[in-house]
Structure 1
């Protein structure tokens, strides 16, 4: 059996890209959400699929499934380690196949030329999950059965090399052979052509172009060409698609809409999408934040003002309601309206008329009202602070906007958009996003939702070097020290918290060896851990000393020394 160096890929480095986030029920392989499936369940599904549609149709479906996964991993491998040579990156594919539990891959012969995008090779497959599934339900086969694995190999290699590379299984353990063996080469070099495989659904007609948009590869998919896409309204997650479906259904009507969601989820963008998709799209869209004023000032801003109604009111003026006549009025933070404003707004909705401050003659208006609030609105109704009749009038069609933590699969699309936008705005060129940064974004809770992501990416673009990479350090803020909560796979194959390596032995020798093999400075490490302990203790040296397991004088001496203070000065000071 070939040893790991023959593949030239560090299994630990690839395993670190696999992250488990049990709090959200998600498993991530970099930016791709993964799924663990029981072999018995997969075998039962495979059997039922074959019985339902026939073996040839089932084969096509499973090959397409594998092709999709291989294409995704091919994109991951190309960007995984930009400092490595192309061959090293390519050989990540067999390792990824093993990490995902499909097969163990051993190279027999391999030809690789990145200059001409040529790749051909012969490989041995061991422990194929498809062979086990087939033997479990069907016994020995007359033909190869590693259908999805073949689709994976073809998809991975074609995407990575930028040309159609076709793999075929020439030996299979399910047929009685000692092992599975596959052969791959450019599709045009197969003597019988690739037409049969094209009929099986393998997409060999769109080669990978190394000059294509890097951010499409980061996201894994192109931004969807949807009429509501405007930066904050980007996504393909079930939550997002469901929300946009509701917006599409209610937009052509005049029904009032209530948007409810946490701060930063995109309520204003959703309101604008509603307006754009409505029959009032050519009419005004007027936005008003109900939290900016109260009393007479709120009354005047929202409903208008007659001359002389207030001190200094030399002329009459329209309020936001009248300015939105014929169009759409968007009321943000509607739960902040006081009792008087609530009564006048109810009159607008019920009677279609508005009364200015200081004027007794109501004015007719015809407009659509879209209101937005945080979940506090329902509490205000229960507490009697917000009129129940107004609430039911505004919520004729309520839409809940999911927080970003419930639609993590949309983060790559938003990441692409914001990096592109801010790179252009700040005249920067960003080449890529580091794996550690992507891992953080996919596991961070985002209490500020899309607004927080937007600010985070703008800061990262500014801090990142021109034509460089956005790293994890560029995302962090000195005002927010939250850390991602996730599990990753250690080199020993165990789950470890926060991406840290779990030592393989209780004495910690492997961890110490990795430190000593790297560019490690004991003095720097001691200074940093002391500074961090003092910071965690808010400057309390006694508390920091207890955390470090030393006395306060010992810590005081080391702390002063780390800051460049001489020993005698430190002794005098403490």
Structure 2
């Protein structure tokens, strides 16, 4: 098994450490998935509303399919760990995640699992089922088992993990008066027809496999060519991203002028390339021109072209400008608000007449181009203060598309991180085994003022610095010229929300430390008492006690021996070594 400090697609041990809380942004993350905390009373109310409105059978089907979706999503984590874990250990991630999510505590009674041969037999005890509590709260004792979402989760998780339909049946349920809930599971074809139909509840292996396969790599897809990912690739699944892509899809196949509005680094040029790629002009040139790069005569020559002439500086050769070179294709004008007024007037004439006139020329030349422009929010201010022509503004904003900043589409971060990991791992010939806990926390809580461009540069820098076949650590992400303190929160051993340090550990309560210092305690006796208590709680198991103290077993054995040797009346035979 790999080091427990890595997470993305590697080790999922210490599951609670994989939780990341960002209260300022209203986000909770479990590895790369956004999570949601829900009051049990709210779930109970929803459950009762479904039952009372649609009847128990319809409600059961809906709630079971909700469990399917959750189980399939968690199966993606377990499937990615299989190369680095034993089969049983990776399979147990599902029950562990179910417990972490507050649904139920799971105890295995029987587990025989082998995805290679398709062998599966499982029997499990469920304790503290949240679904039972919800049902008892609303209806009291039931005549039938009520853990519908839990069964759906178990079926979908196991089926996605195994690659064949596996169904579970709840043979005991606390809601019916049993001491605990108990389920048994086996492949669907091993149940008789009546039971299989009853347990199915809309279960579809194909859907489950598709959801379980929605890891970052599969969502991003494979590279279009061996050289890596295309520059016009857009990656995301957030509401803002989907809304933007809906607008792109609407206008891409037309010749309408498009204005892309967004912050620097948000992806305006990638969006422009995508619009060109999806248009009927995709086989024609895509010509980009940065309006902030030149000004005056140089801008006019580069954009509109120049006719052969003789000037004080010598003869000038005729050449076409960017507009003519884009003939038949797409002209992308970056930072169009930076155009000077003379160039604005000439550009407006091109849009109105479909003709371009070179500098020093008298004969207009016909051009058939599709114009895509980009700017930021300052374009409106420029139009209002007179530095940008109002008539040109309305020509260019025929179809505006707003590209949201990365901070407004945080749910896209896992997809983008995986995308750039693949891009730069291929480019620099490195294999990255995972992303450390603190690196994940840093990325999920960083503000990204530079948007996607900043994330891209951050991942590229980290790939360069990270060792081959090693994890990507937070130290490789941060820049010495742009230090920011990430707002990262995790769970303590007692389930408390606490800030996390860069070394991955939780900060100690400074108030408690102050009280210790004020009590005139002796450090040596305090350490001895702590060691003795840790060994006592572990029932003499030094390995378990060492883990609780953050020590290795040899370190604890040495210190514990010293403690026992210093105890009054201690004899050498009193020392226990497990």
Per mean C-alpha deviation after superposition, the further-off stretch among 56-65 and 461-470 is 461-470
Aligned twin of 1:456 = 458
Q: Secondary structure at the residue paired with 2:124? A: strand
Aligned twin of 1:407 = 409
Per the alignment, do residues 412 and 12 of structure 1 end up closer, same or farther by CA in structure 2, a change over 3 Å counting? Answer: closer
Asked if the contact 1:309/1:358 (under 8 Å) is kept, the reply is no
Per the alignment, do residues 198 and 168 of structure 1 end up closer, same or farther by CA in structure 2, a change over 3 Å counting? Answer: closer
Shift of 1:19: 1.4
Aligned twin of 1:176 = 177
Aligned twin of 1:382 = 384
Asked if the contact 2:167/2:199 (under 8 Å) is kept, the reply is no
Aligned length: 506
Per mean C-alpha deviation after superposition, the further-off stretch among 299-308 and 97-106 is 97-106
Q: Distance in 2 between matches of 1:351 and 1:285?
A: 21
Q: Secondary structure at the residue paired with 1:485? A: coil
Shift of 1:110: 4.0
Q: Secondary structure at the residue paired with 2:512? A: coil
Q: Distance in 2 between matches of 1:486 and 1:24?
A: 11
Counterpart pick for 1:371 among 373, 377, 392:
373
1:37 and 2:34 correspond: no
Deviations 1:440-470 (A, max 9, x none): 3222222222222222222333333334433
Q: Secondary structure at the residue paired with 1:185? A: strand
Aligned twin of 1:501 = 506
Counterpart pick for 1:358 among 352, 357, 360:
360
Counterparts of residues 255-270 of structure 1 (less than 5 Å): 255-270=256-271
Shift of 1:147: 0.6
Tell me, which stretches of 5 or more residues in structure 2 are unaligned? Answer: 1-10, 517-526, 535-545, 554-578
Counterpart pick for 2:216 among 215, 219, 222:
219
Asked if the contact 2:72/2:208 (under 8 Å) is kept, the reply is no
Aligned twin of 2:276 = 275
Counterparts of residues 272-421 of structure 1 (less than 5 Å): 272-308=273-309, 311-421=313-423
Per the alignment, do residues 231 and 305 of structure 1 end up closer, same or farther by CA in structure 2, a change over 3 Å counting? Answer: closer
Q: Distance in 2 between matches of 1:462 and 1:118?
A: 43
Q: Distance in 1 between matches of 2:295 and 2:448?
A: 31
Per the alignment, do residues 194 and 286 of structure 1 end up closer, same or farther by CA in structure 2, a change over 3 Å counting? Answer: farther
Per the alignment, do residues 465 and 12 of structure 1 end up closer, same or farther by CA in structure 2, a change over 3 Å counting? Answer: closer
Aligned twin of 2:574 = none
Shift of 1:289: 0.7
Shift of 1:394: 1.0
Aligned twin of 2:234 = 233
Aligned twin of 2:434 = 432
Aligned twin of 2:155 = 154
Aligned twin of 1:538 = none
Shift of 1:402: 0.8
Shift of 1:234: 1.6
Aligned twin of 1:566 = none
Deviations 1:237-280 (A, max 9, x none): 21111111111112233221110111111111111222222233
Deviations 1:353-394 (A, max 9, x none): 322222244333332211101222223233332222222221
Per the alignment, do residues 135 and 106 of structure 1 end up closer, same or farther by CA in structure 2, a change over 3 Å counting? Answer: same
Asked if the contact 1:187/1:193 (under 8 Å) is kept, the reply is no
Q: Distance in 1 between matches of 2:493 and 2:432?
A: 31
Please give the TM-score of this superposition, normalised by the length of structure 1.
0.78
Aligned twin of 1:542 = none
Q: Secondary structure at the residue paired with 1:412? A: helix
Per mean C-alpha deviation after superposition, the further-off stretch among 455-464 and 389-398 is 455-464
Per the alignment, do residues 93 and 251 of structure 1 end up closer, same or farther by CA in structure 2, a change over 3 Å counting? Answer: closer
Q: Distance in 1 between matches of 2:426 and 2:239?
A: 30
1:129 and 2:130 correspond: yes
Aligned twin of 1:98 = 99
Asked if the contact 1:11/1:95 (under 8 Å) is kept, the reply is no
Q: Secondary structure at the residue paired with 1:265? A: coil
Please give the TM-score of this superposition, normalised by the length of structure 2.
0.78
Q: Distance in 1 between matches of 2:209 and 2:272?
A: 38
Shift of 1:225: 10
Aligned-CA RMSD value = 3.5
Shift of 1:161: 4.4
Q: Distance in 2 between matches of 1:376 and 1:130?
A: 53
Q: Secondary structure at the residue paired with 1:474? A: helix
Asked if the contact 1:288/1:331 (under 8 Å) is kept, the reply is yes
Q: Secondary structure at the residue paired with 1:141? A: coil
Q: Distance in 2 between matches of 1:356 and 1:114?
A: 69
Deviations 1:277-328 (A, max 9, x none): 2233333221111111111000111111122265345221111122222322
Q: Secondary structure at the residue paired with 1:253? A: coil
Counterpart pick for 1:479 among 478, 481, 494:
481
1:244 and 2:250 correspond: no
Q: Distance in 2 between matches of 1:201 and 1:306?
A: 71
Per the alignment, do residues 160 and 287 of structure 1 end up closer, same or farther by CA in structure 2, a change over 3 Å counting? Answer: same
Q: Distance in 1 between matches of 2:512 and 2:21?
A: 24
Q: Distance in 1 between matches of 2:122 and 2:15?
A: 22
Q: Secondary structure at the residue paired with 1:43? A: helix
Per the alignment, do residues 291 and 419 of structure 1 end up closer, same or farther by CA in structure 2, a change over 3 Å counting? Answer: same
Shift of 1:87: 3.3
Aligned twin of 2:61 = 60
Shift of 1:186: 3.8
Per mean C-alpha deviation after superposition, the further-off stretch among 190-199 and 322-331 is 190-199
Shift of 1:86: 4.2
Per mean C-alpha deviation after superposition, the further-off stretch among 404-413 and 294-303 is 404-413
Aligned twin of 1:517 = 550
Tell me, which stretches of 5 or more residues in structure 1 are unaligned? Answer: 1-9, 521-574
Per the alignment, do residues 231 and 90 of structure 1 end up closer, same or farther by CA in structure 2, a change over 3 Å counting? Answer: farther
Q: Distance in 1 between matches of 2:168 and 2:366?
A: 72
